[in-house]
Structure 1
Amino acid sequence: MTESTTAEADGFESWLRARVPERGLRPKGAAVLEVLLTQPRRVSYSSAAEAAELAGVNVATVSRTAQTLGFSGWSDLQQELRARFLSSLSAPEVAAAQRTEGDLGAASLRRDLESLAVLTRRLEESQIRTVAEAMARARRILIVAHGSYVAIGTALAHNVRLAGYDATVVHDADLANAVSRIGPDDVLVAISFWRLYQNTVTAAEEAHARGARVFVLSDAASPALVATAEEVLLIPAEGAAFFPSLTPGLAVAQAIVAQLSTVDPKRTRRSIEAAEEQWSRFGLMHRQPRRG
């Protein structure tokens, strides 16, 4: 798929129309779809009742249309619609598009709480287990992250290593060299939110072509990544200002590692005990734990 074709596939219209069933939509459902296509900015921040008013239908029709398009309801459809809408904007445009009332600091905390609630409803436990079990079986784990998302990748890699498994977070110039060594016994975790990094797409494509298992942590199911990934974990990442939130992504990273620690508890315990011993030898901690 060429870059221009990929961009078109990621666009609002192609994405939404691809979700319409072969039998099509009934007239009222088509009216909802038309509003989604023509007024993405507005409906990205509208309630189901407001979307219904724009389409000239009732709220039940909005919910049914969302389900027909493959979502559990309006809130899930809106979440991905907003992620795709925001990914099309520059940083100043993102700030302008936000509808934030009052203090931005407090608004950021509220947004994170809302996103975590959405994440709890949306993310399936089986997805977390699949990623964790794949990591446990992998020869090594390559975690790809860029920009501020390196923070999520670094936290994930650090804790995966503590759990007793070989994990490395890579980005920028190191990425090409790391991907050149990936193989069928490896796992690649691609982490990207808001505007998708091309390097992340390329790494996922190469890893998939080389037989590695690929997993994606993102706020939108980009066709460029879906085509290569075994699982796409959809994670809200909208912030309250210029910056996408890292909080939900970090929460999922923690969930993956928590699950990983249960796959081979003895291995994880040995790894953590060995790390604790080295922390003591290097004198890293201000206070040393009591020896039991």
Structure 2
Amino acid sequence: MTTDAEPDGFESWLRGRVPERGLRSKGASVLQVLLTQPRRVSYSSAAEAAELAGVNVATVSRTAQALGFSGWSDLQQELRARYLSSLSAPEVAAAQQTEGELGGASMRRDLESLALLTRRLDEQLLRTTAEAIAQSRRTVIVANGSYFSVGSALGHNVQLAGYEATVVHDDAELANAVSRIEPGDVLIAISFWRLYQSTVTAAQEAHDRGARVFALTDAASPALAAASEQILLIPAEGVAFFPSLVPGLAVAQAIAAQLSTVDPDRTRRSIEAAETQWSRFRLLHRQPRRD
């Protein structure tokens, strides 16, 4: 696991959330358990965490709030994401220790993550992101590896809604795209788990060039957080070697849906124009019935 010596490490992140006034002795006991037994507490209930720290459940909740979270479940979700991001792929699979059929377990995990996302995601973040896209000259969406599926879905729907968007997943193409970014542009960085360095670098460069940067991630690094205007925290824990993409896709769809309400006439005209071309290119197996 990463150590306190690393500025981007798990321990530095957690200690950095401690308020300047510090924590009371019982709160410090909770913090010590979080630091020394991250795997265990990231899968524990508040009562189990309280028992480990030798305090009551109320103290665990108050400590979570003192660290800037709404409560234990909020802290636990990011704690687990941070912990898992410090592990290699084989270590992640070992840490999961999921029993039974992984197919069904994966679907159940996604449902749990969507429920958590629904409870904790601030809809104002969706509105702010959508409005930034609508106001921008163009939007660059950065998404590497399997995360490209999230970026591709978002980019496709942003274009359908009538706005300029480019989805980039090749590093050379990304460098070229960033070189053309200007003030007033938007860059959306999509990355989970250990984060792609090229995505973080693109966010930093875009920020320095005056663009508005938004991040879709499960645990933003300090560098990504510093470059971003807003961070949409999305649970992405899977049951095997890799993170789940389902919650990220849900947020991408939510942003697109919100974007369609910013200028409904523009979006309607764009979709009608696209529909005309789909018909001319005979893209669809079933053509829409025309009156």
- Regarding TM over 0.5, the answer is yes
CA–CA distance in structure 1, aligned partners of residues 195 and 253 of structure 2:
22
The aligned runs of 1:32-47 (5 Å cut-off) are 32-47=30-45
- Counterpart of 2:133, as a letter, is M
CA deviation after TM superposition for structure 1 residue 5, in Å: 12
Aligned residues with identical type, % of pairs: 81
2:61 is the counterpart of 1:63: yes
How far residue 221 of structure 1 moved from its aligned partner, in angstroms, is: 2.8
Q: Which runs of 5+ in 1 are unaligned?
A: none
SS at match of 1:202: helix
What is the alpha-carbon distance in structure 2 between the residues aligned to residue 157 and residue 190 of structure 1?
12
Aligned counterparts of 1:274 and 1:159: Cα–Cα separation in 2 = 14
**Rounded Cα–Cα distance in structure 2 between residues aligned with 1:168 and 1:6:** 38
Which residue number corresponds to residue 165 of structure 2? 167
Alignment correspondent of 2:257: 258
Please tell me whether the aligned partners of residues 190 and 200 of structure 1 are also in contact (alpha carbons under 8 angstroms): yes
Q: Which moved more, 1:42-51 or 1:259-268?
A: 42-51
The residue number in structure 1 matching 2:123 is: 125
Deviations 1:40-81 (A, max 9, x none): 111111111111111011111111100110000111111111
Measure the CA separation in 1 of the matches of 2:101 and 2:252: 29
Q: How large is the RMSD of aligned CA atoms in angstroms?
A: 1.5
Structure 1 residue 225 corresponds to structure 2 residue 224: yes
Quote the Cα distance in structure 1 between the aligned partners of 2:8 and 2:257.
Answer: 33
Matched, 1:182 2:181: yes
What CA distance in whole angstroms lies between the structure 1 residues aligned with 2:256 and 2:243?
23
Task: Give distance in 2, aligned partners of 1:109 and 1:278.
Answer: 37
Structure 1 residue aligned with 2:94? 96
- Partner of residue 284, structure 1: 283
> How do 1:85-164 and structure 2 match up within 5 A?
85-164=83-162
User: Are residue 195 (structure 1) and residue 194 (structure 2) matched?
Assistant: yes
CA distance in 2, matches of 1:90, 1:282: 46
Count of matched residue pairs: 289
CA distance change for structure 1 residues 273 and 5 in 2, over 3 Å: closer, same or farther?
farther
Which string of whole-angstrom CA distances, capped at 9 and with x for unpartnered residues, describes residues 98-134 of structure 1? 0312211111011001111111111101000000000
Secondary structure of the 1:276 match is: helix
Deviation of 1:196 after TM superposition, in Å, equals 1.0
Mapped partners of 2:5, 2:160: distance in 1: 38
Cα distance, 1:97 vs. partner?
Answer: 0.2
2: distance between equivalents of 1:84 and 1:116?
19
The whole-number CA distance in structure 2 between the counterparts of 1:6 and 1:186 is 36
Matched residue, 1:74 = 72
Q: TM-score, normalised by structure 2?
A: 0.97
**Structure 2 gap segments, 5+ residues each:** none
1:242 aligned residue? 241
CA contact (8 A) 1:6 1:224 kept: no
- Letter in structure 1 aligned against 2:289: R
Alpha-carbon distance in structure 1 between the residues aligned to 2:261 and 2:273: 18
SS of residue in 1 equivalent to 2:167: strand
2:9 is matched with: 11
Structure 1 match to 2:24 = 26
TM-score normalized by structure 1?
0.96
Distance 1:6 1:160, change over 3 A: farther
Q: What SS does the aligned partner of 2:111 have?
A: helix
Question: How far apart, in 2, do the equivalents of 1:208 and 1:262 lie?
Answer: 27
TM-fit CA distance, 1:6: 12
Tell me how far 1:271 sits from its aligned partner.
0.4
Distance 1:257 1:205, change over 3 A: same
> How far did 1:10 drift?
2.4
